[in-house]
Structure 1
Amino acid sequence: MKKIVLLLFVITARPAPAQQPDKTLWYNQPAQYFEEALVLGNGTQGATVFGGVGTDKIYLNDATLWSGEPVQANMNPDAYKNIPAIRAALQREDYKEADQLNRMLQGKFSESFAPLGTLFIKTGHGAASQKYYRQLSLTDATSLVRYTVGGITYTREYFVSKPDQLMVIRLRSSQRRALSFSLTFNSLLRNQVTVANNILMARGTAPVRSEPSYRGDLPNAVVFDPARGTRFTTLAKIKQTDGRLVTTDSTLGIQGGTEALIFVSMATSFNGFDKDPATQGLPDTQLATDRLNNAFAKSYAQLKQTHVADYQRLFSRVSLSLGKSTAPSLPTDERLKRYAEGKEDTDLEALYFNFGRYLLISSSRTPSVPANLQGIWNPYIRPPWSSNYTTNINVEENYWPAENTNLAEMHQPLLTFIGQLAKTGAITARTFYGAKGWSVAHNSDIWAMSNPVGDFGKGDPMWANWNMGGAWLSTHLWEHFAFGQDKTYLRQQAYPLMKGAAQFCLSWLVDDKNGNLITSPSTSPENQFLAPDGYKGATLYGSTADLAMIRECLTQTALAAKTLNVDAPFRDSLDRALARLYPYQIGAAGNLQEWYHDWKDVDPRHRHQSHLFGLYPGHQIRPDRTPDLARACRKTLEIKGDETTGWSKGWRINLWARLWDGNHAYKMYRELLHYVLPDGVKTSYARGGGTYPNLFDAHPPFQIDGNFGGTAAVAEMLLQSDEEGVRLLPALPDAWASGAVRGFRARGGYELAMTWAGGQLKTVTISSRMGGQTTLMSQGKTTVVSLKAGQSLIINW
C-alpha cells in the first residue's frame, strides 16, 4: 500500500509538460468554440478536441465522407454552342449581353464535405476544476488535457495514428479507482447507434445532396436517400486496467477505474471518384472493425511509439529559428493578444510556421483526396463554401508549402486528384467549351467535378464561369518535378496531364483584333470591372489572370517536353502560342492591368489578386528580370492595401516576398496573426482576416488556406529558387536579423540549411539528391556550386 501511495504522490506532483514555445499550443481553460479547440489528424481521420471537464466533446471527420455520388460530367452537352454568341457580343463590346449569355455555360454546384459525428466523454465529476491545462504538441502530434477535481488529478492524452488508422485516448486518475466516464455519440447525418459486445457502433450515410450554405434556406437543401450516398462506420471500444465496464443500449463506459484507453475507429465506403459508394463501395464496417481489432491488441506504448515515429519522420525534417525571443511564457490565446499589441514574439511567428506544416501532415495523406477548405476539420452539414476544393486560389494555396518546406509526400493527394479531374475535365472541355484537352472550373469536390457551377444559369459569372483551374493546377505537377527531379514521375504522371491542360489552353485561345492570342469569354476570379459606359461587368476577353496562367502552363509544358525529349512538333506549337499571347499591360496609374483595357475595378481593394499570378506563384515577373512589371505589381498591391481576408493576406505576403520587400512582407505576416475572437462570440468591431485562438486562419470564417499561405510565405522570405538558381534571404525583414533554418528545399533537387546574424548570411549547407549545378545568390554575392548525387557542401558566406 505504501508503494501505491508513493506512486500516486509522484503522479499528482508531476510538473507541467515541457513547453517548446515554437512547437506548443497551450491554454488554461477548455475550448468553448470550434475556433478554440485543438485539432488532430492522420491525413484521413480528423478529430477536434475541446478538452471539457464535465464533458469532453470531440468532433470526428473522415476526409472521404462527402455528400453526393459520382458526377455526371455530361450535364449540359450543348453549352458550348453558346460560345459564338458570347464572342460576338464581346466583339461588339456589349458586356451586359455577354454576362447574360455566359450564364448558359453553367452546371451544377459541388457537393459538401460532411461531418461524421461527435464523440462525448461524460465524466463522473462536475465541470468545476483547478489547475486546468490543455495543450497540442507539434513535436509529436499529441494533445493533452489535465485538471484537478476534489484533490484528484485527471489526465487525458489524445492522438490519431496513421500507422494504425484510428484515434487513441488515454484517461488516468491520480487516485486509484477514481476514474469514471461514459461514451456517447451523435451525428448530423442519418445514423444508428448501438452497443454490442462492449463496442459502441455508429453506422450511417452522408446526404446524397447538400446545397452550398451561401444559397440560403432552400427547400430540401440536405437530401438523404437510404439507398444512396457514402456509408460510414464509427466504433469505440474501451480497454481498462481496472474498474467495471458498464453499457446501455447506446453508451459505453467505466466505473471505478484508474486508467483506460479509448479506441475510436472510423471508415467510409468511398471507393474512388467514379465508384458509386452505395453499390460499389468499400466494406466500411469491416474496415473499421479490422483496424479496431488490430490496434486493441497493442499496448499504449506501442501505439504511441509508432505514431510519433511516423509523424516525426516528416515534421522533423525542417527546423526554424527566427532569433532569440524575450516574450514571456503565456497561453497561446494570450500570446496572440499580446502580439496584436505590437510586442515581439519570434517564437510565436515560428510556431505559426510549424503549425502550418503540422496541419498539412495531419490533413493531406489520403490518396487522391486533397485537403479541402477546412483541411479535414468540419462540424457543419452545410459548411462554409461547402468546404470543397476551390481552384481559383484556395486548394492551390493549401499546397504552396508542400515542396519548399520538405513535405513533398503531402503534395501527392492533390497531384493524383488532378489525374481524376483530367477525366471529368475532358468532358467539361468538350461540352462546355468545344475545346480539346481538359479543363476545370472554380469548384470541385471528392467526385472530381469540373464543370462551371451556377445551377444552370442562376450564378453570377463573376464567380461561376472562370475556367482556368486546369491551367493553374497543372503548374503543381511541374513544381513537384522541379523540386524532386524525378523524370519517371514526369514522364508517366505529370507530363501527360500537363499536355492535356495545355491542349485546352491552345484550343481555347482566339485572336484579338491585333492578332494577339486571348481568351474569350474570360473573367477574373470573383472580380468586376467598370466599363466606360458605367456597366459593372464580369465577362470580357483577355483577362490578365487567364493569360498569366496560360503562359505558365504552356511554358512549363514546353520545358517538360524538352526535359523528356518528346513531342517536338507540339513543343513548337506551344512556343508559337507563347510568342503571340497578349502581353502584360501597365495602366495609367502605374499598376498591372487586370483587364484587357485599362479599366477600373468596381472594388479597388478586392481580395483577389489573380492578375499578379505571374509574380507568385508563377515565375514570369521578377524585380531584376522584369523591373517595370515588378514595379507595376508593387503599385497594384499598394492600391489594394494590406487589409484583406485571411487567405488573401497569405497570398499577398508571398507577393511582397517575391518583390524582395521583407519588411512589408513581415508587416503583413504580423497582421495575419492578428487575434480574432471565435465566430460564436458576438463582436461590435469590424472583422478582418487574422488568427483564431487555436491558430486557425480567420478568413473569417475558418479557412485553412490562410495557414498554408502564411507558412509558405515564411519560406519564401528566406529562400527562393527557380531553374536559374537559389536566392538566400531574398526578403529578410529587419525583425529577423538573426536566425537559422534547416531542411528547406529548392528547385533543382537541393536541400539547404542556413544561419544568419546581423542581417547577414553566415553559413550555407547545400546537398543534392540527384547531383547537379546551381547558383547561390545572396546580398550581392554569387557562388556556383556543383554537387554529385548525395553530396553536401558547407559554405562560409
Structure 2
Amino acid sequence: MKRFNHLLHLLIVIILVVFQSCSTKPVDDDKSSAHVLWYDKPATYFEESLVLGNGKMGASVFGGVESDKIYLNDITLWSGEPVDPYMNPEAYKYVPEIREALANEDYELADKLNHHLMGKYSQSYAPLGTLFLEFQHSENVENYHRELDINKAVSSTSYVLDGVNYKREYFVSYPDQIMVVKLSADTKDALNFSVKFDSQLRFSTSADENVLKVEGYAPYQAMPNYHAGDEEPIKFDENRGTHFSTYMKVESNGGNSLYTDSVLTVSGATEAVLYVSIATSFNGFDKDPAKEGLDNKAIAQRQLMEAGKKEFAEIEEAHINDYSSLMKRVHLDLGETTAPELPTDERLKRYFSGAEDKNLEVLYFQYGRYLLVASSRTEGVPANLQGLWNPHLQPPWSSNYTMNINVEENYWMAETGNLSEMHRPLLSFIGNVAKTGAVTAKTFYGVDKGWASCHNSDIWAMSNPVGGFGEGDPVWACWNMSGPWLSTHLWEHYQFTQDVDFLKNQGYPLMKGAAEFCLNWMVEDKHGNLITSPSTSPENLYITDEGYRGATLYGGTADLAMIRECFLQTIQATKVLDVDADFRKEMENALAKMYPYQIGEKGNLQEWYYDWEDADPKHRHQSHLFGLHPGNHITPGKTPKLAEACRTTLEIKGDETTGWSKGWRTNLWARLLDGNRAYKMYRELLSYVDPSGTDTQYSQGGGTYPNLFDAHPPFQIDGNFGGSAGVIEMLLQSHQNRIDLLPALPDAWPEGSVSGICARGGYEISMDWSEGELNNVTVLAKAGGSTKLVCQGKEQEIDLEKGETVTMEW
C-alpha cells in the first residue's frame, strides 16, 4: 500500500511538472534561482520555515500574515550542568572479563558484560522560545511572497492587503550580535502590530524603559526523547542550569509604541524596526552556569543598547558585508538550465520527478555552506545535530553531538568549501572533550595515557559511553572510537591552512592523546595481531556462524580503520614538527602489527573480524569504509583491491538509505571515482519529503524538506553538510601531495565552472570545463610550496610562493 501511495504521489508530481513547464518561462542560470529560496505561502511546519543565524543566535521564520511566528534559539542554551567524568569510576574492572568472554568466543556473555561499560546520557539542546508578531490582517492577501537570499542572509515576507503593500525583512547580525526585523507599509499609518513571547522553558516578562524583557532558565536535566519510563524527564530549578535573557525594543516611524509587562504594541506607523537581543549565562563546559555563569542580563542589555545607537541601514550593511564575504568565496556554475522559475518547494517536487534543475543543485550546495556559517561561529560550541535550529524541548536524539558520524559530517566541507574559520568551534570543542576524555579513558577503559570519547556528547563536553548505566544496548551505547575520528579534523585543518603554530600548540597535542589511548587500548589476538577488544561497529549487529545476533566483538574493522588513519596522520604531524621520534616509532610498529583488512566471500570489505553476515545488510552506517572516506588510506590507485571491496560493500548496501547516509555515500562513490553513482546519490538526497511526516522512518529513506533541510527523517543537518561536501569531492580531491581535478565529474555536468574551493597543501582552485573536459585551471597558493595537478591522464608540477597565482590551459 505504501508503494502504491508513493507511485500515485509521483504520478501527480509529474502531471504538475508538465503543466508548470508549459505555463512558466525558463530562467537563466545566472539569476536568483541559484541563491534564493522562495515560496508563495507562509510556512505551516518548522521544516518549511526560513532559517537565519549568526553562529550563536538562531531564528526560524514562518512568515505568517495574521500571526508571524519566529522560533528563537541560542547555541549555548542547553539543559544540564558540567558533567562529572568520574560517574562510573570502577567500570574498567569489567574490561578483563569482557576480553576473556570474547577470547572464548562467548559473544552473548560479552554483550551482557558490556552493559557495565555505560554511563549517563547526554543533555539536550533547548529551544529558547517563540516570538509572535500579531497583525490586524486577514488571510485574504494578494501577491504573497517570502524568501531567503543566502548570499545576504536576509529573509523577507511581502504581500498586498486592501491595496497596501506590506513588507518584513529579517536578519541576525554577527557584527552586532542582534536580530533585526524591519516592518513597513507603503501607506501612512497602516502598520499595526504587537510583539509577544512564549517558551517551553521557565520564564517571566517585564517592561523596563521601553524594553520588553524576558528572563528565563533551561532545565538542569532533560532526558533523551527515546528514553522511556521517566516520571519527570524534564527537571527545572531556578537555582540551577543555564539562564537566558531576551530583550526587545522597537523604533518606529510615526505611530505609537506601548510596552506592558508582556506585550509590545505598535499602532499607526509606516515603518518600524524591532531589535531582539539574546544572551545566556553559559561560561564554558566546566563552569556552573548558575553559580559561575556570565551576566546574561548585562550582555543582552549591552547588545540592545549598542545596536540602538546605529541606523538600521548601517547594521544591515555590516551584516550583509560579513555574510557575503564568506558566501561569495566560492562560486559554482553547472551550465545552462531549462528549469522554470517556481517556488522552492515546487522546484524540489519537480526535481524529485526526475526533471533537470542545475541551479537547484547549486542552491543546495551553497545552502550547506550558508548553514555552516549560520550555525558554527561560537568557540567550543560546534553545530549540533540540528545545527542551530530546534523547536523541541526533547528534540530527536537530544539534538546533541553524535560522534559516530554526525558531528564530523557537519564539518567535511568546512575546509574544502573555503570556510575554515567555521571549523574552529569543532576544533576547540575537541580540546574540551579531551579533558573529560582523559578521565573516561582511565575509569571506563583502564588506560592511563591519552583520552577517549564515545558515541554522544553535549555542550558540557561529556565523553563517557552512554546507556543509562547499563539499561542501553551495546550496539549504540558502547562504541569508544570518536577520539581518533575527531582527531583527524585537527590534521585536516593543518593540511588546508598549513598553520604550523596551530598544529604545534593545539592540534598535535590532541592528536597525540587520541593516538596514545589507541596504542594502550589495543591488545593482541591469538595470532599476534593488534586489535581492539571489546569492540562494536556503530549501530550495526552481526550474525555469527552459530546464529547469534550481537554487537560486542573483537577487532571490528571500523575501529581499526580509524586507528590507522589516526596513526598515519599523527606520524606525519611528528615529522612536520620534528618531535617525538620514539613515539612515532611506536605508532609505526603498531601499524605493522594491526589486524589487516579482510575481503569476504562476497567480495565485500568485512565489517567484522570474521566473515559474518550483517543483521541488516543494507544498514545506514558504513563505518568500516572509513579508510576510503573520510580517511584516505584506501584509494583506487594505491589499494585497488580494497577499493573494489568497498565498491562491492556499497553495492550490497544499495542506495536507499537515510539523509545523512546518502550524503556520506555521495562522498564514498566520489572517492571511488564513480561520478555518476555519486551524482545519483546527490539527486536522491534532494528527494522531496513531506514536512508533516517527521517521525524517525529509517526504512523510507531520507531526502529534503521544503526549506531544503535534510530529512533523516526527521530533520538532521548533517545530510545538508555531507551533500555539499560530496559536490566538491566530485570536482576536486587532494591527497599525497597531488590535486586531482574533476576526478568524479558526472555526465550530468558536462560543462561548468567553480572558483574558490580548497585543496590540501593550502591551495585555492578555480577551473572551468566543457564537454566533460577541463579547459583551464587557476591555482592560488595560500602558503606556498610544490604540488602536482592531475586530470584526465595529464600531470603538471607546480611550485608557487605564498600568495602566488598560476593559470594554465589544460
Deviation at 1:682, TM superposition (A): 9.9
Q: 2:772 aligns with which of 748, 753, 759?
A: 759
Deviation at 1:767, TM superposition (A): 1.1
Which amino acid in 2 is paired with 1:349?
E
Which amino acid in 2 is paired with 1:789?
K
2:445 counterpart residue number: 433
Q: Hey, what's the Cα distance between the residues in 2 that align with 1:34 and 1:61?
A: 13
Deviation at 1:253, TM superposition (A): 1.5
Which amino acid in 1 is paired with 2:83?
V
User: Is 1:615 matched with 2:628?
Assistant: yes
Q: 1:448 aligns with which of 461, 467, 478?
A: 461
2:147 counterpart residue number: 135
Q: Helix, strand or coil for the counterpart of 1:396?
A: helix
Q: Helix, strand or coil for the counterpart of 1:356?
A: helix
- On the 8 A contact 1:124/1:179 being kept in 2, the answer is no
Instruction: Rate the CA distance shift 1:312–1:53 in 2: closer, same or farther, 3 A.
Output: same
- On the 8 A contact 2:698/2:713 being kept in 1, the answer is no
Deviation at 1:748, TM superposition (A): 0.6
Q: Hey, what's the Cα distance between the residues in 2 that align with 1:255 and 1:786?
A: 66
Q: 1:189 aligns with which of 201, 225, 242?
A: 201
Q: Hey, what's the Cα distance between the residues in 2 that align with 1:652 and 1:769?
A: 31
Q: Helix, strand or coil for the counterpart of 1:30?
A: coil
Instruction: Rate the CA distance shift 1:92–1:673 in 2: closer, same or farther, 3 A.
Output: same
Which amino acid in 1 is paired with 2:423?
H
Q: Hey, what's the Cα distance between the residues in 1 that align with 2:632 and 2:349?
A: 37
- On the 8 A contact 1:238/1:253 being kept in 2, the answer is no
2:8 counterpart residue number: none
Aligned runs of 1:88-487 on 2, under 5 Å? Answer: 88-216=100-228, 218-435=230-447, 436-487=449-500
Q: Hey, what's the Cα distance between the residues in 1 that align with 2:139 and 2:87?
A: 54
1:532 counterpart residue number: 545
Deviation at 1:28, TM superposition (A): 0.1
1:599 counterpart residue number: 612
User: Is 1:645 matched with 2:658?
Assistant: yes
Q: 1:561 aligns with which of 570, 574, 580?
A: 574
Question: 1:634-686: CA deviations, max 9, x gaps?
Answer: 00000000000000010000000000000000011100000001035899997
Question: 1:159-197: CA deviations, max 9, x gaps?
Answer: 000000010000000111000000000000011112222
2:20 counterpart residue number: none
User: Is 1:732 matched with 2:715?
Assistant: no
Instruction: Rate the CA distance shift 1:684–1:584 in 2: closer, same or farther, 3 A.
Output: closer
Q: Hey, what's the Cα distance between the residues in 1 that align with 2:726 and 2:695?
A: 31
Deviation at 1:313, TM superposition (A): 1.5
| Worse-matched range after superposition: 194-203 or 472-481 | 194-203
Which amino acid in 2 is paired with 1:252?
L
Q: Hey, what's the Cα distance between the residues in 2 that align with 1:326 and 1:237?
A: 46
User: Is 1:674 matched with 2:696?
Assistant: no
Deviation at 1:687, TM superposition (A): 3.4
Which amino acid in 2 is paired with 1:300?
F
Question: 1:724-744: CA deviations, max 9, x gaps?
Answer: 300000000000000000001
Deviation at 1:29, TM superposition (A): 0.2
Which amino acid in 1 is paired with 2:496?
F
Instruction: Rate the CA distance shift 1:685–1:578 in 2: closer, same or farther, 3 A.
Output: closer
Q: Hey, what's the Cα distance between the residues in 2 that align with 1:681 and 1:391?
A: 23
- On the 8 A contact 1:194/1:200 being kept in 2, the answer is yes
1:696 counterpart residue number: 709
Deviation at 1:788, TM superposition (A): 1.0
User: Is 1:42 matched with 2:54?
Assistant: yes
Structure 2 stretches of 5 or more lacking a match?
A: 1-29
| Worse-matched range after superposition: 676-685 or 236-245 | 676-685
Instruction: Rate the CA distance shift 1:681–1:505 in 2: closer, same or farther, 3 A.
Output: closer
Deviation at 1:19, TM superposition (A): 5.5
Structure 1 stretches of 5 or more lacking a match?
A: 1-17
RMSD of aligned alpha carbons: 1.2
Q: 1:664 aligns with which of 677, 695, 698?
A: 677
- On the 8 A contact 2:657/2:699 being kept in 1, the answer is no
Question: 1:142-163: CA deviations, max 9, x gaps?
Answer: 0010011111111000000000
Which amino acid in 2 is paired with 1:665?
A
Question: 1:554-600: CA deviations, max 9, x gaps?
Answer: 11011001110000101110100011111100000000000000000
Q: Hey, what's the Cα distance between the residues in 1 that align with 2:666 and 2:474?
A: 28
Q: Hey, what's the Cα distance between the residues in 2 that align with 1:63 and 1:689?
A: 25
- On the 8 A contact 1:723/1:748 being kept in 2, the answer is no
Q: Hey, what's the Cα distance between the residues in 2 that align with 1:604 and 1:685?
A: 14
Which amino acid in 2 is paired with 1:586?
I
Which amino acid in 2 is paired with 1:23?
H
Q: Hey, what's the Cα distance between the residues in 1 that align with 2:707 and 2:394?
A: 22
- On the 8 A contact 2:696/2:712 being kept in 1, the answer is no
1:745 counterpart residue number: 758
Question: 1:311-343: CA deviations, max 9, x gaps?
Answer: 112111100011111100000000000001100
Which amino acid in 2 is paired with 1:329?
E
Deviation at 1:621, TM superposition (A): 0.7
2:700 counterpart residue number: 687
Q: Hey, what's the Cα distance between the residues in 2 that align with 1:135 and 1:254?
A: 25
Q: Helix, strand or coil for the counterpart of 1:202?
A: strand
Which amino acid in 1 is paired with 2:80?
G
User: Is 1:771 matched with 2:784?
Assistant: yes
Deviation at 1:526, TM superposition (A): 0.3
- Identical residues among aligned pairs (%): 61
- On the 8 A contact 1:427/1:438 being kept in 2, the answer is yes
Deviation at 1:474, TM superposition (A): 0.2
- On the 8 A contact 1:372/1:387 being kept in 2, the answer is yes
Deviation at 1:139, TM superposition (A): 1.4
Question: 1:261-296: CA deviations, max 9, x gaps?
Answer: 000000000000000000000000100000000001
2:793 counterpart residue number: 780
1:497 counterpart residue number: 510
Q: Hey, what's the Cα distance between the residues in 1 that align with 2:134 and 2:177?
A: 25
Q: Hey, what's the Cα distance between the residues in 2 that align with 1:248 and 1:276?
A: 33
Q: Hey, what's the Cα distance between the residues in 2 that align with 1:769 and 1:633?
A: 34
2:531 counterpart residue number: 518
Q: Helix, strand or coil for the counterpart of 1:343?
A: coil
Instruction: Rate the CA distance shift 1:685–1:412 in 2: closer, same or farther, 3 A.
Output: closer
Q: Hey, what's the Cα distance between the residues in 2 that align with 1:67 and 1:758?
A: 54
Q: Hey, what's the Cα distance between the residues in 2 that align with 1:622 and 1:130?
A: 56
Q: Hey, what's the Cα distance between the residues in 2 that align with 1:769 and 1:670?
A: 33
Q: Hey, what's the Cα distance between the residues in 2 that align with 1:478 and 1:707?
A: 23
User: Is 1:722 matched with 2:735?
Assistant: yes
Instruction: Rate the CA distance shift 1:613–1:555 in 2: closer, same or farther, 3 A.
Output: same
- On the 8 A contact 1:240/1:257 being kept in 2, the answer is yes
Instruction: Rate the CA distance shift 1:243–1:217 in 2: closer, same or farther, 3 A.
Output: farther
1:10 counterpart residue number: none
Q: Helix, strand or coil for the counterpart of 1:761?
A: strand
Question: 1:385-419: CA deviations, max 9, x gaps?
Answer: 00000000000000001000100000000000000
Question: 1:501-527: CA deviations, max 9, x gaps?
Answer: 000000000001111100000000000
1:4 counterpart residue number: none
Question: 1:366-397: CA deviations, max 9, x gaps?
Answer: 00000000001000000000000000000000
Which amino acid in 2 is paired with 1:595?
W
